[in-house]
Structure 1
Amino acid sequence: MIKEMTVLFVVCVNNEELFEQCEKQIKSVYIPPGFHMHILPIRHAKSLTSAYNQALSFPAKYKVYLHQDTFIMNPYFFMEMLVLFTLNKDLGLLGVIGCKELPENGIWCEGKELIGQVLEYKWGLYQLLSFKTEKFKRDRFIPVQAIDGLLMATQYDVEWREDVFDGFHFYDISQSLEFQKAGYVVGVANQTRPWCIHNIRDYVLDEATYEKYRKILVEEYPDVGLQKEEG
């Protein structure tokens, strides 16, 4: 197995029904001749960061970290991702939705200039979240400050901050910032149609835990939101 010709899909699993559909969709993605695709389900994870760090030693240049409730609907997802990474060597981390500028509170969806799209399924209804900026329509990806963790694709390995984010919130914002600290560009793919369905169904946010990790984020990265102030 050649590392440069291998893609690894990494999924934390605590719901086998969701993972079964997630895995089915991954297997429907076209992998060109010569490339190899592997799926790594990680069960009983104490945090997303600790789980994702387990994948760093796997010999795959390309890694796609996605939620068990993220279903890839674009059969040419890998091809489009591969083109973006091949043509843009400084592009380290790619997502499907995010923001160009994080606000001071660290919550990406409250940031300035939201970018990307995803089809959400919640409470029995489908809703298209689409943030298309007309001036970016000719670009294949848009550089951003942070992406959502429903799908995070990489062509370089940067360690996930399990020393700080030992739960399931704000790991994605942290990793977006860590990639930039390492000198890489973070981007959102400019999709003509959404690449993914995010099947969050009856998900209910644990607000106390979410707030705990939000405070940790802004303490760990005190420069979050400074671009907004300076602007």
Structure 2
Amino acid sequence: MAEEKSIAIIIWVNDKEAGIKQREYLRALHIPDGYSAEMVEVTDALFRTEAYEKGRSQTDAKYKVYLDTKAVIINENILEDIIGIFNEDNTIGVLGLIGTEKIPTHGVCTWANKRIGKAIDYQGKKFEKGNFEADYREVMAVDGFWMATQYDLPWRTDLFHTDVYWDTAQCTEYRNAGYKVVVPKQDDYWCIADWNEQKKYDKASQEIFLDTYSKDIFPLVSVIIPTYNRPEYFKEALESALAQTYRNIEIFITDNSHNTKTKELMVQYLEKYSNIIYEHHPDFESMDNWNRARQYNNPKALYVNWLMDDDLFVPEKIEKMVDCYEQNDGIALVTSYRELIGAHGESFDNPEWKPAFNQTTRADGEAMGREIFVLGQNFVGEPTTVLIKKEYLHNNDLGFSGEEGKYFISDFPTWLACLQHGDLFYIREPLSLFRMHEGQSQRTPRSMLIGAICWGLEIEYAYKNKLYLHTLEDFEKALISWMKTVIFVFVTVREKQYESDSIDVLKALLSRLVIMK
């Protein structure tokens, strides 16, 4: 039974000299009226979680402060401040002095962008971030050099034997149990500690942490793969999605193959992976399959990334792109450079295939939307390239105007819709592989006609609604870039002797846009 008016300060004494100094500092602390306090020293532990678990089991105190041996409390009234915050809100489980609002996808909070709190180190360097309108702010995790609790949860001694990830894991345990993790408002510094110390990168502990907690702390990402009659390429694409270092992924596959080769291939994957949803629609035509892919919407997923069945993800793609969104405010679209590969996976260079930026860049969304139109180029990338934040989709669907109809193209209209809501984040390193091969539908006269019509419709919609194309000059620049493409399409159609009603649609659209003002 917990002693309601008792406080225990638990220290893992792995440095005798530091332990002696701690006793001196702790004797100076003011004990709140009506409360008792004790110091619990653990000297026979091999690692921190073992020490804290032993200390926890040695005391019946309701309130516990877990203190790093080298951290020094300099606020004499800290115990009173702790009790005051805990009494203010009985849903608070953990209190810490520096906290992380969004845990990075690699799990190391000291490297996160969104950190708040207040502390000073032994050299006098100060950490002071975040505005506090109330007595505390809620975070996802706090740094472990100083942690206070008002409820008991066991420490995960089964997971970590090194001094990394254990504090973030414990905060996640409390949050999973329904308790808040918070950082207090400090008028003056409460503690001196090595808050700026970079934690050692421990790959084994990272794998344990991410395997255990990814689904608790990171948003769900839907990967959508439409496929048709090419199981060899599809298998490579699926394997690249399954190889992602980001753990919280579901994979939705809609297959309109007119044979059962892909369906037979899927048997082994469905037996092994519970996060795959597979549908076979042999009666679907191409547009039916696209529409099924567009209709899929798991409300639990915050992000979606399409994966064309002949393209590939780099293993770190989703991890790095989610981190861009989560660690930076105001980002509407995250993309990257993509490498070209051939039919057999071989890399090759194309002088026209250049990165949009020479380094990782954050760019204004409005300006990027205008550039897409004025240059007549989709430099953001193909569907495989971009991680989409679902809340920025047009009516929760791909596309820009909602009027594309049968002339729908999945990529650049979607980017235009998203870029209305914020900035573009461009990662210079290649995070996806775009396959060039003879079987691509983009090279057919039909696809070229659809693409040209879609571009024209988007130009018309943007200028009429003053989205990106705010001036007549910008409209004319976009029109000139588009007309160059239209001429090339007409030449190709004539050379191929291709007949389609879409030719007349493109001609009518061209006439309409030329006289628009």
Question: Do both proteins adopt the same fold according to a TM-score greater than 0.5, normalized to the shorter chain?
Answer: yes
Question: Within 2, Cα distance between the matches of 1:22 and 1:211?
Answer: 32
Match of 1:28 in 2: 28
Match of 1:42 in 2: 42
Conserved 8 A contact 1:106-1:225 = no
Match of 2:124 in 1: 126
- Tell me: CA distance 1:145–1:199, structure 2 relative to 1, closer, same or farther (3 Å): closer
Question: Within 1, Cα distance between the matches of 2:92 and 2:19?
Answer: 28
Question: Within 2, Cα distance between the matches of 1:65 and 1:145?
Answer: 18
Identity %: 27
Conserved 8 A contact 1:119-1:196 = yes
Q: Give 4+ residue runs of structure 1 displaced > 6 Å after superposition.
A: none
Conserved 8 A contact 1:11-1:66 = yes
Q: 1:200 Cα deviation (Å)?
A: 8.0
Question: Within 2, Cα distance between the matches of 1:117 and 1:23?
Answer: 23
Q: 1:189 aligns with which of 178, 184, 188?
A: 184
Question: Within 2, Cα distance between the matches of 1:87 and 1:178?
Answer: 22
Q: 1:32 Cα deviation (Å)?
A: 2.1
SS at match of 2:114: strand
- Tell me: CA distance 1:119–1:9, structure 2 relative to 1, closer, same or farther (3 Å): same
Question: Within 1, Cα distance between the matches of 2:199 and 2:32?
Answer: 39
SS at match of 1:7: strand
Describe how 1:92-103 pairs up with structure 2 within 5 A.
Answer: 92-103=93-104
Letter of the 2:34 partner, please give it.
G
Conserved 8 A contact 2:120-2:195 = no
SS at match of 1:164: coil
Q: 1:225 aligns with which of 209, 215, 218?
A: 218
SS at match of 1:32: coil
Question: Within 2, Cα distance between the matches of 1:183 and 1:204?
Answer: 30
Q: 1:142 Cα deviation (Å)?
A: 0.7
The structure that is strand-richer by fraction is 1
SS at match of 1:156: coil
Conserved 8 A contact 2:11-2:42 = yes
Conserved 8 A contact 2:10-2:56 = no
Q: 1:11 Cα deviation (Å)?
A: 0.4
Conserved 8 A contact 1:98-1:109 = no
Q: How well do the aligned residues superpose, as a CA RMSD in angstroms?
A: 2.3
Question: Within 1, Cα distance between the matches of 2:98 and 2:185?
Answer: 9
Unpaired runs of at least 5, structure 1: none
Letter of the 2:163 partner, please give it.
F
Letter of the 2:116 partner, please give it.
I
1:150 aligns with 2:151: no
Question: Within 1, Cα distance between the matches of 2:195 and 2:177?
Answer: 32
Higher RCO by CA contacts (8 Å cutoff, separation 6 or greater): 1
Match of 2:158 in 1: 163
Match of 2:14 in 1: 14
Q: 1:189 Cα deviation (Å)?
A: 1.1
SS at match of 2:42: strand
1:67 aligns with 2:68: yes
Conserved 8 A contact 2:9-2:65 = yes
Deviations 1:148-174 (A, max 9, x none): 000010000011111111332211000
Conserved 8 A contact 2:7-2:64 = yes
Q: 1:110 Cα deviation (Å)?
A: 2.7
Which range moves more in the overlay, 106-115 or 38-47?
106-115
SS at match of 1:129: strand
Question: Within 2, Cα distance between the matches of 1:25 and 1:200?
Answer: 19
The structure that is helix-richer by fraction is 2
Question: Within 1, Cα distance between the matches of 2:86 and 2:162?
Answer: 29
Conserved 8 A contact 1:145-1:176 = yes
- Tell me: CA distance 1:204–1:174, structure 2 relative to 1, closer, same or farther (3 Å): closer
Question: Within 2, Cα distance between the matches of 1:156 and 1:113?
Answer: 26
- Tell me: CA distance 1:185–1:16, structure 2 relative to 1, closer, same or farther (3 Å): same
Tell me the matched-pair count.
Answer: 222
1:139 aligns with 2:134: yes
- Tell me: CA distance 1:173–1:77, structure 2 relative to 1, closer, same or farther (3 Å): same
1:110 aligns with 2:134: no
Q: 1:113 Cα deviation (Å)?
A: 2.1
Q: 1:56 Cα deviation (Å)?
A: 2.7
Letter of the 2:17 partner, please give it.
E
Deviations 1:30-61 (A, max 9, x none): 00232111001111311211111123331100
Question: Within 2, Cα distance between the matches of 1:200 and 1:177?
Answer: 20
Question: Within 1, Cα distance between the matches of 2:177 and 2:115?
Answer: 23
Question: Within 1, Cα distance between the matches of 2:101 and 2:2?
Answer: 35
SS at match of 2:125: strand
Q: 1:199 Cα deviation (Å)?
A: 5.1
Letter of the 1:27 partner, please give it.
R
- Tell me: CA distance 1:199–1:145, structure 2 relative to 1, closer, same or farther (3 Å): closer
Which range moves more in the overlay, 15-24 or 184-193?
15-24
Flag the structure with larger Rg.
Answer: 2
- Tell me: CA distance 1:41–1:217, structure 2 relative to 1, closer, same or farther (3 Å): same
